Amino acid sequence: MKRTGAWLTVYALEEIGARFTFGIPGVHTAELYDALNNSNRITQVLVTHEGGASFMADAVSRVSSSIGVLTVVPAAGLTHAASGIGEAFLDGVPMLILTGGPRTDSGRQYQLHQMDTHKFMSGLTKATFHVGSHEEVVPTLFEAYRIATSGEPGPVLVELPVNILLMTSEVAELPQFKPAEPHPLQPPSEIEKAAALLAGAKRPCIFAGWGARDATTELTQLAECLQSPVATTLQGLSVFPANHPLHAGFGFGASAVPAAQNAFRDCDCLVGIGTRFAEIATGSYGIPMPENLVHIDINPAAIGANYPAKVGITGDAGTVVRQLLAAFDAKSMRRENNSALRAQIARDKAAYRESWYRNDASGIVNPVRFFDELRRQMPDDGILAIDDGNHTFLTAELMPIHAPKSVILPTDFNCMGYAVPAAIGAKLAFPDRSVQAIVGDGAFTMTCMEILTAAANGLGVVYYVFNDGELAQIAQAQQIPYGRKPCTQLGKLNIEGVALATGAAYLPMNDNAGIADAIAEANEIAASGRPVIVAVKIDYSKKTAFTVGTVKTNFGRFPLNEKLRFLTRAAVRHVVG
């Protein structure tokens, strides 16, 4: 039978279960968009910028079982999308990037959008492919999907030359997609070693990351079996429920909240599950690491990369933890409830929130009171998209997350502008679930016009814009050591004007008294299918534990002469004013 490459591409996408494509059509992809228009299983989403498309695709992959797919033109479309592709790459998020390509049958050079696409993408993807014939289209896309979703997930690029997309060719019988085999079991010897270390520990602790996102049930069972406190990485905020009495918080070192610091203080055996012990997760490597470390991760290169592991196990988090639990049960090694630990965690959490309540001020919104009310009005399975900035760590410390895969945010790539489009991707994936976004005003300006996409698709996303007029996270990081904060003041932003331009509703939240009503009204409007922008006059005067702890950790590593130079400079600037 004769088929165009575009038809074959759509067939392959349907076979792997793709539900959405994100992008902007161009001359190299016009045939692909036309073929996608005939599909009753895939929805095309037009965006305002390809950067937004990549964040939407990222979100679909993070919250659902379907892979996010980009359909972009080569060169400019791809470079625009690169930030979101890089975020997915460093964060371990599967993504398929389909780009058109210059003709391969013309014999001409210097064609429109012609560049070394694969050299450009080599550092941002797990693999890249150039399709050379119609026969290669379907097998290549199947292989790209397999690579993107296996091991530590990540983005994969497939370049489809425009002549292959446009023209027909005879193809043999179409292959059917075969799902991957289940994750293999690990050797009993390694499981036994890990179980023995944990069973012999007086104060075992658990640190869980994004790699445990599908293992919340197993993780909870392990924590209860060991009576261990659980801390999570930033990206792993939702892998363990914050309303569980053994949940300690985000991180556990000098940059963590008191509940986590105290719960982990006497840790003599740590099990790290689905975490790479990266810089943000460890508060700039400021965590105290016990000699007995059990490190479980699907990426063998991550094990022992930053901290030596006594036992390293390469494998899927859920599979490995189930094996560990079986080993404990076989030897009857489950522990009695540690009521003292649970009570200590509860007291520390309450005391930390109380320290924020004492920071109330008139005419401004206290972050803890905002998150108290947001948690009260937001369903447990509601999805929260968080951007990069000071609001990131406020959310991590003050917003309890109760359900798996209910928080998405940029981490290791730390790309500002993530939350606005990511919330759209999440809402498309789950239209019946509440979707909210927490975004600083600086990050908001980067992608706020993508709210037009939400309005055009009838998506009731609520955007809480923390508005203080500056780039707060870096401003605080500058103010502490430098005594000033250059190049962080934003221009005057008319948030209501953005709402008017994009078709969103607008609500102000100017003080604590207005929090509950604003959230309730925003939810009511969003339920009608209209996006809402809430301008939150946020109080950033109290610094997060993460900010204070990480600055101290980094400063503590400076040589003595550099410490003296920084302190002297800060003192002089403080006196001069």
DSSP for 431-484, please give it. TTS-EEEEEEHHHHHHHGGGHHHHHHTT---EEEEE--SB-HHHHHHHHHHHSS
Whole-number pLDDT of residue 563:
79
Residue 553 belongs to some domain of the structure: no
Q: How far apart are CA 427 and CA 156, in angstroms?
A: 24
Q: Determine the Cα angle at 293 with ends 258 and 279, to 5°.
A: 55
- pLDDT band for position 472 (cuts 50, 70, 90): confident
**Pair 366, 426 in one domain:** yes
User: Residue 114 — very low, low, confident or very high, per pLDDT cuts 50/70/90?
Assistant: confident
Residue 176 lies in a domain: no
- The reply to whether 98 falls in a domain is yes
Residues 287, 338 share a domain: yes
**pLDDT tier for residue 568 given thresholds of 50, 70 and 90:** confident
Strands 168-170 and 2-4: antiparallel
Q: Say yes or no: 105 and 149 in one domain.
A: yes
Residue with token string 């398929």: 96
Given a cut of 90, is residue 316 above it in pLDDT? yes
DSSP string across 531-577:
-EEEEE-B---SPPHHHHHHHHHHHHTS-HHHHHHHHHHHHHHHHH-
Same domain, 135 and 75: yes
pLDDT at 186: 86
Does one domain contain both 161 and 200? no
Domain identity same for 142 and 287 = no
Residue type, 442: G
- Asked whether the predicted pLDDT for residue 543 surpasses 70, the reply is yes
Q: Which of 137, 170, 203 is the last residue of a domain?
A: 170
Q: What is the pLDDT of residues 371-394, one digit of tens each?
A: 999 999 999 999 999 999 999 999
Q: Which CATH number do you get for residue 78?
A: 3.40.50.970
User: Can you give the three-state secondary structure of 9-37, one letter per residue?
Assistant: HHHHHHHCCCCEEEECCCCCCHHHHHHHH
- In this model, does residue 577 exceed pLDDT 70? no
Q: Is the pLDDT of residue 271 over 90?
A: yes
Same domain, 236 and 310: yes
Q: Is the predicted pLDDT of residue 369 greater than 90, yes or no?
A: yes
Nearest C-alpha neighbor of 530 from the set 502, 495, 494: 502
Statement to judge: residues 336 and 397 lie in one domain: no
Note the pLDDT of residue 484: 81
Specify whether 238 is located in the same domain as 301. Answer: yes
Whether residue 534 is predicted with pLDDT greater than 80 in this model: the reply is yes
- Angstrom distance (rounded) from CA 174 to CA 197: 51
The secondary structure of 229-286 as a DSSP string is: -EEE-STTTTSS-TTSTTEEEE--STTS-HHHHHHTTT-SEEEEES----TTTTTTT-
Between vectors from CA 40 to CA 149 and to CA 173, what angle results, nearest 5°? 65
Question: What does the pLDDT read at residue 566?
Answer: 80
- Under the banding of pLDDT at 50, 70 and 90, the label for residue 467 is very high
Closest listed residue to residue 6, CA positions, set 158, 173, 117: 158
Q: Which long-range contacts (CB under 8 A, 24 or more apart) does 487-491 make?
A: 490/441, 490/442, 490/445
What does the mean pLDDT of the chain come to? 94
Average pLDDT over residues 368-373: 98
Q: Cβ distance 308 to 285 under 8 Å?
A: no
Domain housing 111: 2-170
Q: Classify residue 354: in a domain, yes or no.
A: no
% residues pLDDT > 90 (the chain): 84
Is residue 301 classed exposed, middle or buried when 0-12, 13-18 and 19+ CB atoms within 10 A define those classes?
A: exposed
For residues 345 and 246, is the Cβ–Cβ distance under 8 A? yes
**What's residue 49's pLDDT?**
97
Same domain? 337 vs 384: no
3-class SS shares of the chain: helix, strand, coil, % to 5: 45, 15, 40
Helix (H) or strand (E) holding 393: helix 390-398
- Do 337 and 367 reside in the same domain of the chain? no
Owner of token pair 């947001």? 374
- The full DSSP string for 482-513 is HSS-TT-BPP---HHHHHHHHT-EEEEE-SGG
More confident residue, 54 or 1: 54
At residue 182, does pLDDT exceed 90?
Answer: no
- Which tokens hold the place of 381? 């399975």
CB–CB of 398/375 below 8 Å?
no
Q: Name the strands in the sheet holding 532-536, side by side, starting at the edge strand that comes first in the sequence.
A: 407-408, 383-386, 435-440, 462-466, 532-536, 505-509
pLDDT of 470: 80
Question: Does residue 55 form part of some domain?
Answer: yes
User: How would residue 330 be classed by pLDDT, with cut points 50, 70 and 90?
Assistant: confident
Other Cβ atoms closer than 10 A to 288: 12
Residue 495 lies in a domain: yes
Q: Does any domain span residue 353? A: no
pTM: 0.95
For the cut 90, the answer to whether the pLDDT of residue 468 exceeds it is no
Residues 6+ apart with CB under 8 A from 504: 451, 454, 455, 463, 498, 530, 531, 532, 533
**Which of 573, 233, 266, 566 lies closest to 410 in space, CA to CA?**
233
Evaluate if residue 212 carries a pLDDT over 80.
Answer: yes
Position 217 pLDDT exceeds 90: yes
Inside any domain, residue 456? yes
Task: Mark which of 141, 170, 199 sits at the end of a domain.
Answer: 170
Give mean pLDDT, residues 103-109: 79
Q: Which residues contact 396 (CB under 8 A, 6 or more apart)?
A: 234, 237, 250, 546
**295 in the same domain as 158:** no
The token pair that represents 388 in the structure block:
């990069």
Domain count, the chain: 3
The dihedral region occupied by 399, where left means phi > 0, alpha psi between -120 and 50, and beta the remainder, is beta
pLDDT of res. 110: 80
What confidence score (pLDDT) does residue 474 get? 76
More confident of the two residues 333 and 200: 200
Question: Band of the pLDDT at 365, cuts 50, 70, 90?
Answer: very high
Q: Is pLDDT at 205 greater than 70 in this prediction?
A: yes
CATH number at residue 272: 3.40.50.1220
Residue 333 has a pLDDT of 75
More confident: 298 or 566: 298
